Amino acid sequence: MKNYLSFVLVAAIMSGGVGTLTSCDSYERTDVTEEIYVDQSEVSLFVGDSLQLTASPLERDIRWESGDESVATVSHGLVIGHHAGTTTVTATDGAATFSVAVTVKDEIKLTDVIPSVSLLDMDPDSRSLITVTPVPSDANNVDRDDCAWWSDDESIARVEMSGTVYSMQKEGGTMLHYRRGTIIKNIPVYVSSTHPFPTQHILSKDQPLTLKFIDFDLGGKNKAWYDTTAGNRGGGTYRSGYGDTGSADVDIVNRRYIGYTASGEWLTYTIDVADAGNYRVDTSLGAVMDGLFHIEIDGADVTGPIVAVASGGNTTFAYTTSTVLNLTAGRHKLRFVMDKATYNLLNMLFTATD
Ligand SMILES: [Ca+2]
């Protein structure tokens, strides 16, 4: 240092002025280059994983150390996690040093995600929220924002990243999808002005389904049912007991069957077909004389007029009449139309025939 000062003084004297004696500036620049920077000051990694840190200036001969080598070790900036815990990794050269806070965690793998519903049944122009629960709940190996929602048909329903679903005016079904990491869940959504009552009516090859005529859809007059007379002459509170306040005109007798029928009346049933194919429909009715009915699926008459065969008495119920429906998989609307209503209606029995 003494020689350096001597040189500067000599140089200043030689240049003929004191204005060039500004060694203070060059001293500060020298001090800056003695600092070390590492590209990250906080890192988190799983046990068994490694992560490369980069120090600058690159040309320096940096010594890397970990405060707790049981948690993480470091060599040439490469940090390796060994056990859950925290440590501090330092990059040092002489008096210059930089500290990196290191957290090592046990990896908890996401194994599944569970949507709050497996099926969504919505009115047109309405809104619903689907939440999704990770399994296990403390899974930490998938980033929070590594997820997506989308709809196959946004003319029926669209979904936002929050899981909020908006149904459109148009009725129909489509599929919603949720992805978290590599796990994908599919949720069918049905937009309709009628809804199953009181539970889903599922048709499958596994077992026959007995569908009670009194379990027609929710949705009210001209949507779920059409009845020509005011009030329920059968009395009772079967429907309202399930929270349905929109079926007051349908005549339900003894909490058991549809009575006081009139030609032109109809009832709608949401059916979910698990297995596509042919299903025989046996109709349990009570009638002293033959009548007529037909069945519509999704608005189309698929049977034409069917003779409802008399059973011997208005309350002598028997499976006198059958027809076969060919049904595709998925949700459908079945409408039972009373063309010549000589009968009371108890059950429809669906049996797969394939
Ligand atoms: Ca009525």
Residue 12 lies in a domain: no
In the reported structure, the alpha carbon of residue 261 is separated from the centroid of ligand 1 by a whole-number distance in angstroms of 8
In the reported structure, the alpha carbon of residue 214 is separated from the centroid of ligand 1 by a whole-number distance in angstroms of 13
- Six-digit token string for 95: 């008096």
Same domain membership, residue 151 and residue 258: no
**Span 245-292, pLDDT tens digits:** 999 999 999 999 999 999 999 999 999 999 999 999 999 999 999 999
Residue 20 lies in a domain: no
In the reported structure, the alpha carbon of residue 174 is separated from the centroid of ligand 1 by a whole-number distance in angstroms of 35
33, pLDDT greater than 70: no
pTM of the entire predicted model: 0.69
Same domain membership, residue 318 and residue 228: yes
Dump the DSSP string for 46-77.
ETT-EEE--EESTTS-PEEEES-TTTEEEETT
For the chain, the domain total comes to: 3
Could you say which of 191, 225, 241 is where a domain stops?
A: 191
Longest dimension (CA), the chain: 134
Residue 272 lies in a domain: yes
DSSP H helices, the chain, are 2-15, 23-32
In the reported structure, the alpha carbon of residue 211 is separated from the centroid of ligand 1 by a whole-number distance in angstroms of 21
Write down the pLDDT at residue 34.
72
In the reported structure, the alpha carbon of residue 340 is separated from the centroid of ligand 1 by a whole-number distance in angstroms of 16
Residue 135: closest CA among 105, 114, 149: 114
**Span 128-160, pLDDT tens digits:** 999 999 999 999 999 989 999 999 999 999 999
- Could you tell me the residue range of the domain that residue 290 belongs to? 201-352
Residue 24 lies in a domain: no
Structure letter (DSSP) for residue 236? S
**CB-based contacts of 186: which residues, under 8 Å, 6+ apart?**
175, 176, 177
